[in-house]
């Protein structure tokens, strides 16, 4: 498994949204992601896969970045296929698991508490980003209610399908009009379960350490103007558009 050229790669059963696919029944539609950190290291994130993700035979925690080094063997669920890391930067990173155990706040994936963005910003990487996001909650979200729905009962798979379709709608509208930001804001205003929907999904600018880890890694890994694939957090299922 050699990964370069993209900020992150996704693994799962759904060939429409995943970079690497496996049709085994124990593999979730969107199972895991490998993310390039700004320090050059690679981290594997289990995206709440039902049958787990394993590194060197050990099951990793969901939503917690796990460092991948050369020779690391990755297995999805009980699938026969496995992946082996090649050319990965070695050594631990202070960023792995940063913010774990802190009380989390806003639906966007915001973490409460003070933090030093200067310490977290790596050479060559931005100290802050500005993003739009669209969130769809499901029954296992940490707060399964929103301004749109008082009680949310949909499954995580249903939420994922909704976000995949919303992403297609945004891409189609942007291709037609040439205005990705407007297409995103128009849809987020109507469909996002986050209170930021009233601002077109605009989260403003934020530094590292203020969002849930999976959300942060994706947001800081995007190029300006780039639309993410779907992203999981404790709040639900997101798509993110980086503005600055």
So which residues are the catalytic ones? 133, 194, 212, 235, 238
Asked if 115 contacts 125 with a C-beta cutoff of 8 angstroms, the reply is no
Q: E strands along 47-148, which residues?
A: 53-55, 58-59, 66-68, 73-76, 82-84, 128-136
What token pair was written down for 109?
């994936």
Using N-to-C axis directions, what is the helix angle for 156-177 and 180-191, rounded to 10°? 150
Asked if 31 contacts 48 with a C-beta cutoff of 8 angstroms, the reply is no
CA distance 239 to 84: 28
What token pair was written down for 87?
């050319």
Strand 236-242 relative to strand 231-233, pairing: antiparallel
Asked if 59 contacts 69 with a C-beta cutoff of 8 angstroms, the reply is no
What residues contact 83, with CB distance under 8 A and at least 6 apart? 1, 11, 20, 73, 74, 75
| Number of CB atoms found within 10 A of residue 188's CB | 25
Q: Which of 113, 84, 117 is nearest to 99 (CA)?
A: 113
């Amino acid at each position: 498994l050699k990964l370069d050229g993209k900020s992150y790669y996704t693994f799962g059963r759904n060939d429409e949204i995943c970079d690497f696919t496996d049709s085994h029944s124990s593999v979730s539609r969107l199972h895991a992601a490998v993310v390039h950190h700004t320090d050059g290291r690679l981290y594997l994130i289990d995206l709440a896969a039902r049958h787990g993700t394993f590194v060197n035979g050990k099951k990793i925690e969901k939503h917690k970045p796990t460092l991948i080094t050369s020779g690391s063997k990755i297995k999805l669920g009980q699938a026969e296929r496995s992946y082996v890391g090649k050319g990965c930067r070695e050594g631990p990173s202070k960023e792995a698991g940063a913010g774990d155990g802190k009380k989390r706040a806003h639906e966007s994936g915001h973490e409460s508490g003070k933090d030093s963005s200067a310490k977290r910003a790596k050479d060559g990487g931005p100290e802050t980003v500005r993003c739009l996001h669209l969130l769809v909650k499901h029954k296992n979200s940490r707060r399964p209610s929103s301004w749109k729905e008082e009680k949310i009962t949909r499954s995580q798979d249903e939420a994922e399908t909704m976000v995949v379709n919303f992403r297609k709608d945004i891409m189609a509208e942007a291709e037609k009009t040439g205005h990705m930001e407007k297409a995103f804001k128009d849809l987020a205003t109507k469909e996002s379960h986050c209170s930021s929907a009233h601002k077109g999904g605009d989260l403003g600018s934020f530094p590292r350490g203020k969002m849930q880890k999976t959300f942060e890694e994706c947001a800081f890994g995007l190029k300006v103007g780039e639309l993410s694939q779907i992203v999981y957090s404790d709040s639900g299922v997101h798509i993110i558009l980086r503005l600055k």
